[in-house]
Amino acid sequence: MVLGIITSIAACPAIIGTTEAVRSGQKQNARERHRSRKANLLVTCNDPSRKSRDIHGGTVVLRNKKVYVTNVNPKSKFLPDEGEDNVEEQGHQLAGYFFPYPESKWGRRGDGYVSTIQDDPPQLNWIYVDKDTYEVKYGLKVEAQGHHVGPWNVTPIDRRLNFDGWEGFTVVEEKEGEWALYFDMDDDGLQEKVPLDKRIMEIELTRKELRMQKGDPIL
């Protein structure tokens, strides 16, 4: 009896260690499932300018190799079928997820980031930050090479997108009502990157996972 008790006590650390390893593995699997699911990006803009109302609550679209923020709230129940007030008219709505970038060594800092660029036939491109202009763009690997391709990640609670460990997303009104997405790599308000007469506003981008359809892979 005493020997049995001693054996049980001796086995406790191993049992606890195994349980913790299983829980850690479950958390890791849940994290990977979350990161591999397609998600749109919703826009939050708290700039005091009245212009912030043009994009607050909007979404992110891809058009002509660049990434833009729309002035259309995709959650509105009263979107028209046609015209500029429709998301599809402004570009392909970003549906992105995290994916290891070849030969990257970022570890826990993050991954590469890809998005669909069309639905039929489905096609993916890398999302990256142009090294010269700091514009956020999309393209094939050969187009992304040499630019800032990552690491991309999300905040643990609010699921806000970040790049290289922080949130420096900015929009620039390149034309009236046309807001291009930039990342302020130098944290200086895009000095020497954007003309002084262009309006600039800081934004936050929150991932909104797409509803899984029947037959979609879990991972």
DSSP for 83-140, please give it.
STTSHHHH-EEP-EEEEPPTT---GGG-BEEEEEEEETTEEEEEEEE-TTT-BEEEE-
What is the model's pLDDT at position 71?
Answer: 76
Q: What is the mean pLDDT of residues 81-98?
A: 76
Q: What is the mean pLDDT of residues 97-106?
A: 94
Residues 21, 96: Cα–Cα separation, whole Å: 30
CA 90 from centroid of its chain's CA atoms: 19
Q: What confidence category does residue 210 fall into, taking pLDDT thresholds of 50, 70 and 90?
A: confident
Instruction: Calculate what percentage of the chain has a pLDDT beyond 70.
Output: 74
Tokens of 131: 């090294």
**Residue 78 confidence (pLDDT) above 90:** no
In terms of Cα–Cα distance, which of 55, 89, 42 is closest to 200? 55
The model's pLDDT over 124-168, given as tens digits with 9 standing for 90+, comes to 999 999 999 999 999 999 999 999 999 999 998 889 999 999 999
What is the model's pLDDT at position 54?
Answer: 87
- The phi, psi pair for 106, rounded to 5°, reads -85, -20
Instruction: Calculate what percentage of the chain has a pLDDT beyond 90.
Output: 63
**Cβ atoms 52, 45 nearer than 8 A:** yes
CA distances from 141 to 125, 137, 148 (A): 8, 12, 12
**Residue 53 confidence (pLDDT) above 70:** yes
Over the chain, what is the mean pLDDT?
82
Q: Which residues of 115-124 are buried (b: 16+ CB within 10 A; e: fewer)?
A: bbbeeeeeeb
